[in-house]
Amino acid sequence: MGRPKGPLGALGEEIARAQDAELALSEAADLAAAKGRLLAGAPGRRRILRWQVPLAAAAAAAAILLVPRAPDSLSFRVEGTVAAGETGAFVSVPAGESTDVRFSDGTTLTLASESHARVVQVDDRGARVVLERGSVRARVKHLPRARWTVGVGPFDVRVTGTAFVVQWEPERQEFSLALREGSVELSGPLVGRARRIAAGETVRVAMRERRFEIVSGERVAAADPIPGPEVSPAAALPPAPQALREPSNAPPVWLVHAKAARWQDTMAAASPDWNGWLGSGDAAALTLLGDAARYTRDVARATQAFETLRRRFPGTPRAAEAAYRLGILAGGDRATAARWFQTYLDERPAGSLAREALGRLMEVGDEVRKVQAARTYLERYPAGPHARLAQSIVGE
C-alpha cells in the first residue's frame, strides 16, 4: 500500500485498523442485506435496470433474470385542492384553520394554523417535509422500509412509523416534540446523541437558553386542539417550568455533553459538583470525567478523576485504563509515567491498550524497561506501527 510515511500516515493506518475492526462486526449482515436486494431486484434509490437474456440463450440453459419495475413514488394531496400535490410548493395555512396533507401510503400530516411547510422530496419509501414555522402533527404509516424526514429549523426528525407533534419557533429558537406512538432516538444540540424518546414523552429544547427537558406522561390526546389565531403555537403546549428541571430518568447534563465529545461543556456542567460526581459516579462516568478534564488540559482534575477511579474500583479493566491515562498525564516526569504504563501492563497484559503502553514504555522507560518492552513488543506485535522503533532499541 502507498500510505505516506509520517504522523498522518501512521494516524491513518490506526484509523483504518480500528475501522476494519468495526466493519467486521457488521460485515455479514450488511453484505447479505445488499446482496439480497440486488439479486431480488428490490427497488433502490434509482430505477432498477430491466434486462433479460434472449430466449435462445435461455433455451441453452443460461439464466434468465427478470427484474421487476421499481414501485412508483408516493403521491400526496393537500386538503382543499383538487390536483395532486406538487413537490417543492409551499403549503401555507391561514389563521384559524388547519390543513391535512395526505399521502398515498396512508401517512397524514396536519399543519396547524399559520404554519408554513413544503414537501421537498418524495420517493417510494416516504418523503422529506420541511416545516418552516409552526406546528405539524404527523401520523406516519408504519410500513416496511418506510423512511420519512421532517426538517424543523436546524433539526431533523427521521422516523419509520410513528405519530408525533413537532414544533419550531425560529424567532425564539425553540423546538419541541411530543411523541404519541412508537419510539425514536433523538440526537443533537444539548440533548446529546441517540437519546431514546418513548411514546407519551415530550421534548423541549430552548437553544438560546441552552436548556432542554423531557417530560414524561403528558397526555397527548387523540384529538389535539389545533391552536386558533388567538393562541400562539408555543402556548398550545403544556407550560414550561420556571426553572431548569431535569427529569429523574434523564442522565446528567455533563454526561450528555461528554457523549457528544463537547469537552468544554462537559467540564462546565460537571465542575460545580466535581467532587460529588467523582464520589457517586460509576467507573464509566469517572473515565469520561477524567478524559474531559484531560482534553481540556485540566491536569489536576484529570489526575484526581483517574486516581479516584482506581481507588473506588480496584482491579477492574477501567482501573487499569486509568493507570494508562495517568501515565500520559505524567508528561515529562518519565519515571512516574513509566511506572503507570508498567502498572497497566501488570494489571492487563493483554488489554486493549497493551500495545500502546509498550510503545510508550519504549520511550519513557529506563534502559532495562525499554529493552524489555521492545522485546515484548516484537514478540506480540511484529508488524505493529512501532515495530521499527522496537527493532532499533534491541539492535536488530
Total residues contacting other proteins by CB under 8 A comes to: 96
Q: Give one DSSP letter per residue of 88-118, joined into a string.
A: T-EEEPPTT--EEEEETTS-EEEEPTT-EEE
* CA geometry: angle 307, 333, 318, nearest 5 deg: 30
Q: How far apart are CA 321 and CA 166, in angstroms?
A: 43
Contact (CB, 8 A) for 188 and 173: no
Stretch that binds other proteins, among 88-96, 110-118, 194-202, 214-222 (CB under 8 A): 194-202
Residues 6+ apart with CB under 8 A from 207: 173, 174, 175, 189, 190
Identify the sign of the CA torsion 308, 310, 312, 316: positive
Q: How far apart are CA 326 and CA 347, in angstroms?
A: 14
Of 107, 187, 128, nearest to 155 by C-alpha is 187
**13 lies in the binding site for other proteins (CB under 8 A):** yes
CB of 6 to other proteins, least distance (A): 7
Among 154, 241, 276, 279, binds other proteins (CB under 8 A): 154
**333 lies in the binding site for other proteins (CB under 8 A):** no
**95 lies in the binding site for other proteins (CB under 8 A):** no
Residues 340-379 that bind other proteins (CB under 8 A): 352-353, 355-356, 359-360, 362-363
Backbone angles phi, psi at 156, to 5 degrees: -125, 135
Is the Cβ of residue 114 or residue 321 nearer to other proteins in the bound state? 321
Among 102, 108, 283, 295, binds other proteins (CB under 8 A): 295
Contact (CB, 8 A) for 176 and 205: yes
Is the Cβ of residue 4 or residue 217 nearer to other proteins in the bound state? 4
Among 257, 301, 310, 386, binds other proteins (CB under 8 A): 386
Is the Cβ of residue 78 or residue 203 nearer to other proteins in the bound state? 203
Stretch that binds other proteins, among 91-99, 178-186, 215-223, 308-316 (CB under 8 A): 178-186
**332 lies in the binding site for other proteins (CB under 8 A):** no
**187 lies in the binding site for other proteins (CB under 8 A):** yes
Q: How far apart are CA 386 and CA 198, in angstroms?
A: 48
Stretch that binds other proteins, among 86-94, 98-106, 249-257, 381-389 (CB under 8 A): 381-389
Residue 364, C-alpha cell as written in the block: 519513557
Among 189, 200, 228, 238, binds other proteins (CB under 8 A): 189
Q: How far apart are CA 117 and CA 93, in angstroms?
A: 9
By rule CB under 8 A, what string of x and - marks binding of each residue 29-48 to other proteins?
xxx-xxx-xxx--x-xxx-x
CB of 378 to other proteins, least distance (A): 13
**138 lies in the binding site for other proteins (CB under 8 A):** no
Residues 155-174 that bind other proteins (CB under 8 A): 155-162
Q: With the CA atoms of 244, 248, 251 and 257 taken in that order, what torsion angle do they form, in degrees rounded to the nearest 10? A: 0
Residues 249-268 that bind other proteins (CB under 8 A): 261, 263
